[in-house]
A and B are shown apart, each in its own frame.
Chain A
Amino acid sequence: MANRVTNSDKQGMTLIVKTITRLTVGLILLYGIYIVTHGHLSPGGGFAGGVIIALSFIHLMLAFGKDLALRKLSQGASSFFESLGAIMFLTIALLGFIGGYFFFNFFSKGKPFNLLSAGIIPLCNIAICLKVGAGLFAVFVALILLEVPIRKK
């Protein structure tokens, strides 16, 4: 098995980078999810966590080449998640009409400083994380995949 040279060995960076990436990219993703879900207890929230999650996918793409990263999260899927995040956020805002106002905090608030507290704020954080993370990854992929033919003037 050590003698098989596959196509994915030619793309991306050297072996050292690939080994370290295999170890750390899962931890980066987990860290991003931690920042998103604890957004109402400690600094962070949707924006910062979404950027970190997008960075973990970009890390994968930089170390292994674009084919493998696009197999994990394709361009169509990231576009889908982006719109899904925005529609989820808008639905949560419109559901506030149950309590009488747009964007009203209609969930039960629970005890302060618990993980499951503060009403709709964790759900909004998750929606924003989807949108920002998928959007940033989609922008990166679109700029990478743009093949620019160099015109000779």
Chain B
Amino acid sequence: MMIYLMCLVLFSTGVYCILVKKNLIKIIIGIGIIEYAVNLFFILVGYRLRGRAPILAKEQVIQNMVDPLPQALVLTAIVIGLAATALIVAIAIRLYEKYGTFDITKIRRLKG
């Protein structure tokens, strides 16, 4: 139970970063923290009591293994997060080139 609450604390830290911080790079780090929190939660869903790693080698039986399906899904989700992070960092670098600053309160040309 405690460990799921830790995931929630991590998630709230990420949301706090996105909402409060003014530097573009800190907002990107906040998005990264949120993705870590959700991936961690997904893997923890698959835990079985006294389970071991779900690798089937020779002369071993399928007994007491944790659930391997969330591990495969989280691998995909990590790669998707990598692609999104690469794109958003590239856009942040271009924003610095055009506006001259990383401060999000000064990048406000679109309003209304």
Enumerate chain A interface residues (CB-CB to B < 8 A): 42-43, 45, 47, 113, 132, 136, 139, 142-143, 146, 148-153
Contact = CB atoms under 8 A, between A and B. Distances in A.
Contacts of B57: 113
B32 to A, nearest CB: 16
B89 A143 contact: yes
Interface string B50-65: 0000010110000000
Interface string B69-101: 000000100110010001001100100111111
Binding site of A, secondary structure by majority: helix, strand, loop or mixed? loop
Contact of B97 (A45, A47, A148, A152): A148
A146 B78 CA distance: 26
A149 B55 contact: no
Interface of B: 55, 57-58, 75, 78-79, 82, 86, 89-90, 93, 96-101
A139 B88 CA distance: 12
Nearest to B96: A148
Contacts of B100: 150-153
A113 B78 CA distance: 28
A153 B101 contact: yes
A146 B86 CA distance: 14
Nearest to B59: A113
